[in-house]
Structure 1
């Protein structure tokens, strides 16, 4: 690809992004369930547009129908003796309208694979992609009714095997417009065989293993899984989540194919949602893209809504039809494709619905709030000069969800404070790598009677 003067362009684009961030914060819009990385991790390009893509590809490519995303730390690029490179990932994105995979070969260089067709080195309207640290890449090559197995070596993707299509496979591996795909830590492949209303499991050896949901699924389009061999997992778990019925429903299965739960968009209070992409984080929480509402919905493993992040727009924490999503669980890095670009976030934490009960505390009161991510929390009572009078909890790890702390109206010495107005201060730090530069702070008044 043609060399381009990157540094001046990067500086100009970074300045524009910073101006957007400041403008949004000034308008009081500052959600922090997801946060942007520091400059050294993204060179200021956390929101990638057509301008960035043309710049890095010498004007050879534009975003055309971006779809699935995968992110991984390749073993061959890992340098055990180098400190600080563990979060430098290889990210694969499907540009379905150009029938190619776009992926980075370094922090500042890109390459592509594919082109429209049904040949060994070609793709047609690919929708789903998954990858592992060994360099294996699997693509749901939707328009060719097949799954393509590639290998990344020395920064180059090369084809290894093809399942389905016109390869003479047995009937069990005859896919019909497959869209979603994921793999276990042991190398088994789970494919959303969309046109056949089923999930197909292919063993590491390339042989058909089993199907899931043939009598229950309808139009499955995306899936994500976690298994007990997963290295970056808080507690050992194994389950599969499938998006189906034109993005209006989620199904949960164990990896053997037994259904363990389901939820519709209406049951989640999202009647107009169109779920498109899904992935699972280190704590087994789900992140689901919503193309219609221009949001990312976060659910717990029991398919209950935790929060919704984002809104329609082109600024920070805003989306235009988000679609694919990938999470690198170790550090909480998230990559999202959207209608004409892509975004890069780290998992943060937000503090919502904070208040005191009752409105005027007499003998005892409750401080309540909701945190959108597992976090280390400190809650203090302060006076008008912001001096700490009482510490209710300090640096305690709390799970995602609602929290309640009791205050008896006394200071740390055990003395009753005078009636009047005080301030509750809540500080929350995520447990992911974003904790090194981000913390959420909120404050609100409380009255002591």
Structure 2
């Protein structure tokens, strides 16, 4: 049911202009904010999580949801009826061998059906799409790739690519698929332990096989230098493989750039399914076993984890899918009984302030996203509450560990006295997506 719920939520969410002007800023103090829910005015009635109720509202008894798998999202160029932020989203309903999508903002549709003929699918897993209307499905049970096209009015079948085998252009249980900006198709040919690359029409280009260290490839994502909506213009392939525990990064020539064994790094068992890149190239990886999302830099250095098992806000039930629309940092995550819609935000972890020498203060923190940072110091005493000074205002800092040293100006020395406690307040806002609607505020004590 996971993928269906995500599409239900999208239809609801995008009935309004989610990036319209908003007079109030949402302040978050006590929740993680690597990802955050959109503010109330950017959702229908504050709904940010789909439920079985909404499934019934839109589809009734037309179908049921059976082993949902991958997601894909885009803004179709041919669709002039919606705002730029209102997307078309596809979800693979694998057990029923069909794709659920939103043909309009007010309806759900289904294409594909079980079978082995043209326009039929057999327990597909992965899906990818682009703004031109191209759709590619990893038709796993039929050992092929199924190509479709959405002109914004109707989805139609184009052709099948490949068939069972071990030669170039042939497949054994292909699982996931990705597209680059030139229309090239990247396929996790799981049973053959390789990635195959095709042109838009299905012509074989090249492969990256087990001689490059690939084993049991799963989720795949691609960044490239010609993407329209990307601040990370480099040509790379990101891949989940191994025993669902490894992330690998390759260049387009198949050269291995970096490998991360996530289970070893985190010292726990994991089950990674798929992954996506955001605007800055950061990598978001779904861990089905631990019900969370891991975030890595484009160089595959660990940043943080988000979420835990559960059905409350900021929790997941065995998630399997993630889709990111890079232009506006819209993130969609599916899990067992719901679908959740997030914006990319930022958090400051382990925020500390300390005096390092006379008239010099150091602020240390770890950012989970490139951010705008403001820091203020307030008098912690009751009698002087409300008095504060500004250390910095809306400074841009990069993701990762940050340390700021501040020399106390002469005019503030009367306010900042040795032997007293002060509240140090950091305000964190992402540079896009949730900006300027949501900010995180964290407070820590400073003793001088």
* Fold agreement, TM-score > 0.5: yes
Alignment partner of 1:392: what SS? Answer: strand
**Kept in 1: contact 2:166–2:192 (CA 8 A):** no
Deviations 1:6-53 (A, max 9, x none): 9xxx89xxxxxxxxxxxxx99x96111111124454424422233321
Q: Distance in 2 between matches of 1:236 and 1:280?
A: 12
Q: Distance in 1 between matches of 2:30 and 2:144?
A: 44
Q: Distance in 2 between matches of 1:344 and 1:412?
A: 47
Deviations 1:147-206 (A, max 9, x none): 01100123322110111137xx99311111001110110000000000000000001232
The alignment covers a number of residue pairs equal to: 419
Q: Measured at CA, do residues 155 and 254 of structure 1 come closer, stay the same or move farther in structure 2, by a change above 3 Å?
A: same
**Kept in 1: contact 2:223–2:232 (CA 8 A):** no
> How far has the Cα of 1:405 moved from its partner?
1.7
Equivalences for 1:92-103 in 2 at 5 Å? Answer: 92-103=90-101
Give 1:131's match in structure 2, choosing from 129, 132, 136.
Answer: 129
Give 1:118's match in structure 2, choosing from 109, 112, 116.
Answer: 116
Q: Distance in 1 between matches of 2:366 and 2:411?
A: 25
Q: Measured at CA, do residues 266 and 171 of structure 1 come closer, stay the same or move farther in structure 2, by a change above 3 Å?
A: closer
Residue equivalent to 1:278: 275
Q: Measured at CA, do residues 114 and 437 of structure 1 come closer, stay the same or move farther in structure 2, by a change above 3 Å?
A: same
Q: Measured at CA, do residues 37 and 62 of structure 1 come closer, stay the same or move farther in structure 2, by a change above 3 Å?
A: farther
> How far has the Cα of 1:78 moved from its partner?
3.4
- Please, which moves more after superposition, 127-136 or 169-178? 169-178
Residue equivalent to 2:31: 30
Q: Distance in 2 between matches of 1:39 and 1:139?
A: 35
Residue equivalent to 1:258: 255
Q: Distance in 2 between matches of 1:267 and 1:323?
A: 21
> How far has the Cα of 1:412 moved from its partner?
5.2
**Kept in 1: contact 2:362–2:404 (CA 8 A):** yes
Residue equivalent to 2:58: 56
Alignment partner of 1:143: what SS? Answer: helix
- Please, which moves more after superposition, 172-181 or 111-120? 111-120
Q: Measured at CA, do residues 383 and 362 of structure 1 come closer, stay the same or move farther in structure 2, by a change above 3 Å?
A: same
- Please, which moves more after superposition, 108-117 or 301-310? 108-117
Give 2:174's match in structure 1, choosing from 169, 172, 178.
Answer: 178
Q: Distance in 2 between matches of 1:153 and 1:36?
A: 31
Q: Distance in 1 between matches of 2:343 and 2:58?
A: 23
**Kept in 1: contact 2:235–2:251 (CA 8 A):** yes
> How far has the Cα of 1:414 moved from its partner?
5.6
Equivalences for 1:375-414 in 2 at 5 Å? Answer: 375-384=371-380, 385-387=384-386, 389-410=388-409, 413=412
Does the alignment pair 1:430 with 2:436? no
**Kept in 1: contact 2:221–2:276 (CA 8 A):** yes
> How far has the Cα of 1:77 moved from its partner?
1.2
Higher relative contact order (CA 8 A, sep 6+): 2
Q: Distance in 2 between matches of 1:33 and 1:411?
A: 37
Alignment partner of 1:172: what SS? Answer: coil
**Kept in 1: contact 2:143–2:163 (CA 8 A):** yes
Give 2:208's match in structure 1, choosing from 212, 216, 232.
Answer: 212
Alignment partner of 2:265: what SS? Answer: coil
- Please, which moves more after superposition, 344-353 or 428-437? 428-437
Q: Measured at CA, do residues 165 and 235 of structure 1 come closer, stay the same or move farther in structure 2, by a change above 3 Å?
A: closer
Alignment partner of 1:312: what SS? Answer: coil
Deviations 1:85-124 (A, max 9, x none): 1110111111112211111122331111122211212211
Question: Unaligned regions of 5+ residues in structure 1, if any?
Answer: 1-5, 12-24
**Kept in 2: contact 1:221–1:246 (CA 8 A):** no
TM-score by length of 2: 0.88
Q: Measured at CA, do residues 300 and 64 of structure 1 come closer, stay the same or move farther in structure 2, by a change above 3 Å?
A: same
Residue equivalent to 2:189: 193
